[in-house]
Amino acid sequence: MSEMPHPKQDISLEITAQPQYLSVIRHFISCLAQELNFSTEEALQLEMCVDEACANSICAIHDKEGPEPKTKVKVDILIDPSSLKITIHDSGKDFSPHFQKALPIDEHTDRTQFRGYGLQIIKTFMDDVQYDRDPAAGNHLHMIKYFSESAE
Amino acid sequence: MWKKFEISTTAESKCDLTIQVVRVKGYLDSSTFPQMQDHLQDLLNQRQYNIVVEFGDLNYISSAGLGVLMGMLQEIRNQEGDLKLANMPPKIRNLFDMLGFSRLIRIYDSVQEAEDAFCNDKQERMTEQDKPPLEDSY
């Protein structure tokens, strides 16, 4: 008997824009990925991508508001029958130049740098990644991971 | 309150080399990577360039942690040393493989194997030095 497809549903989380809260988001995403039958490898990829995206948002907020910001990082999750859609929102500094510049990691990637792997990792592991910026509301990073047949 | 990352180092002697074995535990991410960076920088400031990082109790590494390792690797190799990784949990090893970092940094199953590799590196350097210079071919 085939299992029922994943129903469409929403989850929203907010964290204070401080890096020590990233572990809370990581644990949540890891548990969610397991609940949705993603493979161990995919679960780690999702955990890492959300961690990297939230870390970028925290940096963007700190760049705009300083080390004790008031605004938070918001994570919206939509589970539909074919995919897991995750959007990270922040009201920090525009990071569109960094987003455009980042390429998925491949054999030509310079791996001798201290920084700059975060968006590259996101573009490598997620099936679709889009960025948009609303001058009033800030940065929105949209990431999609499709369910493989075994996860459905 | 947030006890997420621990790091400690022991100095070990092998084949007339001093090898610094750095043990990390917990989560190496955006909030904890400065600890790792400062710790490794202290070793470099003491001119310690033979370093093994033991990953056995590491639960997670983010791009910030990868950046610390990869950024310091070249500086260490420029000093004829190396930074080798050992005892990596499978999920973290998998990540290094998927992202291609395991092609640049040497990874061993145990600290012992990493230490042995330092001895082999030293032996190879000595053999290289003992070779007679190449004669001019013209």
Q: How far apart are CA B108 and CA B101, in angstroms?
A: 14
A105 HSE (CA, 13 A, CB side)? 21
For residue B130, the SS3 value is helix
Which pTM value belongs to this model? 0.88
Q: Confidence class of residue B111 from pLDDT cuts 50, 70 and 90? A: very high
Contact (CB<8Å) A44/B30: no
Q: Which ipTM value was assigned to this complex?
A: 0.85
Q: How far apart are CA A122 and CA A127, in angstroms?
A: 9
Q: How far apart are CA A90 and CA A88, in angstroms?
A: 7
Instruction: Encode pLDDT of B79-94 as tens digits.
Output: 999 999 999 999 999 9
pLDDT recorded at residue A1: 43
Q: Distances from the Cα of B58 to the Cαs of A17, A89, A111, A118, B49, in angstroms? A: 24, 29, 21, 19, 22
Q: How far apart are CA B37 and CA B132, in angstroms?
A: 41
Q: What are the chain B neighbours of A115 within 8 Å (beta carbons)?
A: 63-64, 67, 71
Window 66-125 of B, Cβ < 8 Å to A: 66-68, 70-71, 73-74, 91, 94-95, 98-101, 104
Q: How far apart are CA B52 and CA B118, in angstroms?
A: 9
More confident residue, B21 or B122: B21
Low-confidence ranges of chain A (pLDDT < 70): 1-9, 149-152
pLDDT recorded at residue A110: 78
pLDDT recorded at residue B136: 58
pLDDT recorded at residue A7: 57
